[in-house]
Structure 1
């Protein structure tokens, strides 16, 4: 299913790609916020500003300079895996990687950034499933278990649903983006309560 997502991303216009990246990152924000609260460190405001830049860019000219400036700020509030003891650190890092890739896309329009953004979300879900199911990485059936898990199925279905909706909207306005954000759903793509 991940290959299908990459194929669908290829069919999007640059502005549709910016919206898709914003939608992916928006659902990763709760895990970054949970980390910030647990670690008493970070800046959800920087992350939220990244979402604004993505959505605003999709409605007009890409905000390359703003994206570049925000990347510098994001780097300062992106956690290092060894710097914090909370198990939420890796999930916050995934969220930051997704936003970093999305902002990089605004700067250079390289499609690989969109694939990396979407993959950061599925990587986060994969790590979560392995953790809450206590799966050993050397289990032969670990990949199949993760792929069949409800959290992974929900994330892949969400990305497909959003891509299908975007492909049906060659032209869109702020009302369409609002409708896409409703379609995107609310809350995180993992259950951070399991990780405390």
Structure 2
């Protein structure tokens, strides 16, 4: 993950100002926004089960709203998410598999946060979301793998997709710091209004599986 440290530190500081309920809501929203990446992977590779992630998100929302949970439920969903998370050794050089892995990872971090309330897990959700976009930008623009971190950071800072994501997360955190109500409407508004990664938009316009496969193995 090459996100500028100053920007990530600013985001992390804003996360720390939230209540635990709102910290969890932030992690849920980030995870749900990137869910289309898992669907794209699932439709191309015919592997996994997006319904597990949807059920996991629903469970997290209930926990954020009610403030309690059954330990057995968390253990079950942990096992299910692990079972449908792609192993990159099985999908080498597959950008969709990597992005699907990121979605699963963000959800797992949210569930660990529920159990131990360690803010680090929500910070990781933010970090992973940027890492997923940066990985796509590297593939999309065919960036050299030997670029120095400073060069990558400069390139990413000028990319519109990543700039939108920074603005989105900062604005969302500011709103969560206020009196905005944690409700189903909040999740709908914040996931629908978020910029969808270009990759998913492009994939959704394609109907030929062979063309899908070309993109998934950029």
What 5-or-longer segments of structure 2 have no aligned partner? 1-6, 204-214
Following the alignment from structure 2 to structure 1, what is the Cα–Cα distance between the partners of residues 16 and 160? 27
Given the alignment, which residue of 16, 40, 48 partners 1:10?
Answer: 16
Partner in structure 1 of residue 61 of structure 2: 55
Instruction: Summarize the Cα distance change of 1:145–1:135 in structure 2 as closer, same or farther, 3 Å threshold.
Output: same
Following the alignment from structure 1 to structure 2, what is the Cα–Cα distance between the partners of residues 67 and 12? 23
Cα displacement (A) at 1:67: 2.5
Partner in structure 2 of residue 129 of structure 1: 137
Report Cα offsets for 1:72-119 as digits up to 9, x if no partner: 110000000021254311110111111111111111111110011111
Cα displacement (A) at 1:128: 0.7
Instruction: Summarize the Cα distance change of 1:76–1:70 in structure 2 as closer, same or farther, 3 Å threshold.
Output: same
Aligned length: 193
Deviates more, 1:50-59 or 1:34-43: 50-59
Instruction: Summarize the Cα distance change of 1:190–1:91 in structure 2 as closer, same or farther, 3 Å threshold.
Output: farther
Partner in structure 2 of residue 26 of structure 1: 32
Deviates more, 1:7-16 or 1:137-146: 137-146
User: 1:156 aligned to 2:169?
Assistant: no
The 5 A counterparts of 1:29-48 are 29-48=35-54
Report Cα offsets for 1:165-184 as digits up to 9, x if no partner: 110127x342xx41353133
TM-score normalised according to structure 2 size = 0.82
Following the alignment from structure 1 to structure 2, what is the Cα–Cα distance between the partners of residues 150 and 186? 13
2:33–2:194 contact (8 Å) kept in structure 1:
yes
Larger radius of gyration: 2
Given the alignment, which residue of 75, 78, 93 partners 1:71?
Answer: 78
Report Cα offsets for 1:125-160 as digits up to 9, x if no partner: 110111111111322422210122111111111111
Report Cα offsets for 1:44-83 as digits up to 9, x if no partner: 1110111112211111123252233211110000000021
1:19–1:55 contact (8 Å) kept in structure 2:
yes
What is the DSSP-based 3-state SS (H/G/I as helix, E as strand, rest coil) of the residue aligned with 1:88? Answer: helix
Report Cα offsets for 1:15-50 as digits up to 9, x if no partner: 001111110001110001100111101111110111
What is the DSSP-based 3-state SS (H/G/I as helix, E as strand, rest coil) of the residue aligned with 1:161? Answer: helix
Partner in structure 2 of residue 92 of structure 1: 100
Given the alignment, which residue of 106, 125, 142 partners 2:152?
Answer: 142
Cα displacement (A) at 1:187: 6.8
What is the DSSP-based 3-state SS (H/G/I as helix, E as strand, rest coil) of the residue aligned with 2:179? Answer: coil
Deviates more, 1:128-137 or 1:80-89: 80-89
TM-score normalised according to structure 1 size = 0.90
User: 1:167 aligned to 2:177?
Assistant: yes
- The CA RMSD over aligned residues, in Å, is 1.8
